[in-house]
Chain A
Amino acid sequence: MSALAITPELIAQHQLTEGEYQKITEILGREPTLTELGIFSVMWSEHCSYKSSRLHLKKLPTRSSLVLQGPGENAGVIDIGGGYAIAFKIESHNHPSFIEPFQGAATGVGGILRDIFTMGARPVAVLNSLRFGPPDDPLAGARNRRILEGVVSGIAHYGNCFGVPTVGGECLFDACYNGNPLVNVFALGIFRKDEIFLAQAAGVGNPVIYVGAKTGRDGIHGASMASAEFTEEAKQKRPNVQVGDPFLEKLLLEACLEAMRTGAIVGIQDMGAAGLTCSTCEMGSRGGVGIEIDLRHVPQRESGMTPYEIMLSESQERMLLVAEKGREEEVFAVFRKWGLDAVTVGEVTGDGLLRVKDHGTVVAEIPNRELADEAPLYDRPHTEPLRVAPIDGPAFASQDLGADLAAILASPDVASKRWIWEQYDYQVRTNTVMGPGGDAAVIRIKETGGFVAMALDGNQRWCVLSPRQGAILNVAECCRNLSVVGALPVAATNNLNFGNPERPEIMAQLVEAIEGMGEACRFFETPITGGNVSLYNETLGQGIYPTPVLGIVGLMHTPPVTIDFKAAGRTILLLGGIGEADERSFGGTQYAKAVLDGLWGVPPALDMDFEKRLQAVAREAASSGLAESAHDVSDGGLAVALAECTFGPAGIGAEIDLDSDLRPELLLFHEGPSRVVISTARPESVEELASRHGIPVLRIGRTAPDRLTITQRGAVLVDREVMQLRESWANGLTRSTGLA
């Protein structure tokens, strides 16, 4: 074992506290070796152990009759009927994407795809939720644009080459992301429900097999950089950035799925964060067995790597699997066919230990369960959530509501994201029934004839005004996005992006957001089957707004309804009514942001029961064919929602008259929840349907050629050509950003 003395400095460099180190020595009954210290430091890092959030994550609902696999595996799994299941999860790659946008985002896609096919599912859809600093920021604009361009091309590079369609997502901009962009990637795969593979080792004596890329000095834990064992030369050799290889991953996918079909594979896990360390000890721990490996068998890209480096490397596109003893050759034959390295590196043991040897010499020997499951758990102090905005906003009065509408449509948050999603192959696999630009993305499942809808939502403006209420509204909106296309929301995954949890006012944001999310997911019956927590999103003391991102999947049996008006002369209905609004709940809107450059107040109120019934109406209107078009009212309020309905290929406009006492700015642009715009040829049937659910429906106008006209009891508020509004919206992102 390494003779290097473990000093307090070395412990601190590994970001372990004194108490944590104490616990390590208790588990081992001795001082750790350097390699062991490294192993503990990555397994007990925030990233791997969720030590700040675990206590609170337990408050989330995780079960339903459809959930086949909840949190704790590589991805959640739900039953979609017909003998099939889907695996899905969202994961962040925030920090790497700031350091190197292209590779950071690309390897983020690679990581989540491996999580999906590790379970035996073939990835069939990717969505992403992105946050950047404003592309037109006077100081950071150029850097923000570079990050945006790099992230988008990185996602495109990896997903397109791998052959998974990127079917949707969301992208918002705010100055709080200037130093901390967020890249959250969601992936979904399909498989037969009796063919789920778990990341568990079993069967003493079974071989442990390493597959895929060779191990290099990629992404080794930053804390270890200063460790005395590394020479200057070694540091220079160590790339800071992991480089993804989507082609290799595509081969891994095909080879793994083919190898699984041989029946010779017992368990399988990808090597993501903390690479070999995490995969060996977690597979051992889950299976209640030990794993012994000898590092001399590990394929290495560089010479002279130490056990410490091999165990901590985060080289991409690697998998670890346990096969049935005696059937190795069947597995190797598959990997040979695909031109991949597969070697036996060790075996399953009965002693519950992770034993790492280097040419026969033991360099680490740690009880698996304690390493994987007994990570420290912190109840970090939390007070009141950080409040950055005033309660009351400025006085305002619009000079030209039509111009305000055009300005919001052209603002980066609301403007068309075509520039982004046209770079993604959103059609490969020919399942994309509703691609980017819809309220939800929908793919058909060839195997069952059904459809799966997916939506990602996060609203950091609401969440910074009230993390709890913001999170509740996020869940409601995400479910609504699924319901309007006709899908029943059934399960969720979450990505919790927050600042430094050691600050009580930030920890409070996290706790309240989780509690709000839990409450809403319980109510809307969308259990959280897995996800990711990304903390410490702070640069130079400047943290991000709390940004919990929800990914919800829904099921449906009919093709989805799209946003755009299909024909003139149809009745336009506002399901749920005008809603309530006042100046204080107006401070989080896009109007406040794009027109008034402000943020204040509180998020709008939500009646969850009303919302659920509204969604039932929307869903039924969509799936029964009553709704020719449907769109939820969200960012930018009713006026923006109506404008978006006119941007279809037919270019159909609308004549709207609103009967309301609200002041015009609030009437047009408030973002209160529980509202859906539909167009229909059979308004009576929709009204009858809505009344059955106790939901008010307003006939607000008719579709008409070429113009969008909105009046309030006859007084004109907005009267613009559809072409003109569409131009603002279609070119808003590229114009404001200088992106070509």
Chain B
Amino acid sequence: MTFGVVVFPGSNCDHDAFHAISRNLTWDGERCEAKFLWHAEESVGDADAVILPGGFSFGDYLRCGAIGKFSPVMRAVKRFADSGGLVIGICNGFQILVETGLLPGALVRNRGLRFVCKSVALRAGTQASPFTSEIEPGRTLQIPVAHGDGCYYADERTLDELEAEDRVAFRYVDNPNGSLRDIAGILNRQRNVLGMMPHPERATETLMGSTDGLAVFQSMAAAIACRTPLVR
């Protein structure tokens, strides 16, 4: 089972995601694999899932994620998602997904105006997704955030729609950035694309202080394992 980790110029959690998958994630007794996908590539190759990692793609100089969306690999990621492939955007990856339009809303400056790095408590908003199926209802996850622009914004109608369609994947227990309705992560309508600001890849080993992030990747592995192979 292979996870493709996209590398944009300025990605800096790419190695972390790679490490989390290839060293800390097992499925059915087997270690999962990770491989890097350079942003200029036109295809995601044989990846079973795609991770858009955190960082500052293209320096985040125009808006966070605004330039990354034009990279060739994003066309491939879009095709992959359209055909049902699992895509998770973490932090900057989430920002790229909303810029691309694969997910609704926007991520704006933290309410406190400062970058914030800390471990936060999260609750899964739904178990009905390939990213949260392995998270027992009611369980609180300790997963770090590290961002300056992580305040989730969308208009009321979009927010209502997200809730009505059970697409809020994660909520903050104690909102660190002013996100509307405490939203930390959302799903697309087909439920195969997740964007989240917290970093599950940073919580996959006891040494890092938490292993709660593994549940997200284990859910993905479970979904991939029981799915019929995709037509690429």
Contact = CB atoms under 8 A, between A and B. Distances in A.
Tell me whether A and B are bound partners: yes
A220 interface: no
B117 A426 contact: yes
A670 interface: no
A425 B207 contact: no
Contact of B58 (A247, A446, A740): A247
Contact of A163 (B12, B118, B199): B12
B122 to A, nearest CB: 16
A469 B12 CA distance: 43
B19 A430 contact: yes
B12 A428 contact: yes
A669 to B, nearest CB: 31
A425 B92 CA distance: 14
Looking at chain B's contact residues, is the secondary structure mostly helix, strand, loop, or mixed? mixed
B116 A423 contact: yes
A422 B118 contact: yes
A151 to B, nearest CB: 14
Contacts of B205: 430
Contacts of A427: 117, 144, 146, 199, 202, 208
Contacts of B118: 422
Contacts, number: 81
A446 B11 CA distance: 20
Contacts of B13: 163, 428
A443 to B, nearest CB: 10
Interface string A158-174: 00111100000000000
A433 B209 CA distance: 8
Interface residues of B, number: 31
Nearest to A247: B59
A423 B55 CA distance: 15
A251 interface: yes
A338 B9 contact: yes
Contacts of A499: none
B146 A161 contact: no
B15 interface: yes
B201 interface: yes
Given A247-B61, A428-B13, A433 B115 contact: no
Contact of A161 (B56, B112, B144, B208): B56
Contacts of B144: 427
Contact of B115 (A160, A163, A245, A446): A160
A161 B61 CA distance: 11
A117 to B, nearest CB: 14
B56 A247 contact: yes
Contacts of A430: 16, 19-20, 201-202, 204-205, 208
Nearest to B57: A247
B182 interface: no
A427 B19 CA distance: 14
B10 interface: yes
Most buried by B among A338, A423, A740: A423
A153 interface: yes
Interface in B37-92: 54-56, 58-61
Contact of A162 (B12, B112, B146, B201): B12
A423 B117 contact: yes
B199 to A, nearest CB: 8
Contacts of B59: 161, 245-248
A163 B207 CA distance: 20
A32 to B, nearest CB: 41
Given A247-B59, A428-B146, A430-B202, A153 B207 contact: no
A432 B117 CA distance: 13
A432 B202 CA distance: 10
A721 B202 CA distance: 34
Interface of B: 9-10, 12-13, 15-16, 19-20, 54-56, 58-61, 112, 114-118, 144, 146, 148, 199, 201-202, 204-205, 207-208
21 contacts: A153-B115, A160-B56, A160-B115, A162-B12, A163-B13, A163-B55, A245-B59, A247-B9, A247-B10, A247-B56, A247-B58, A250-B9, A250-B10, A423-B115, A425-B117, A427-B202, A427-B208, A428-B13, A428-B146, A430-B20, A430-B204
Interface of A: 153, 156, 160-163, 245-248, 250-251, 338-339, 421-430, 432-433, 444, 446, 559, 740
Given A163-B12, A247-B61, A430-B204, 14 more contacts: A161-B56, A245-B59, A247-B10, A247-B58, A247-B59, A250-B9, A423-B114, A423-B116, A425-B117, A425-B146, A427-B208, A428-B54, A430-B16, A444-B207
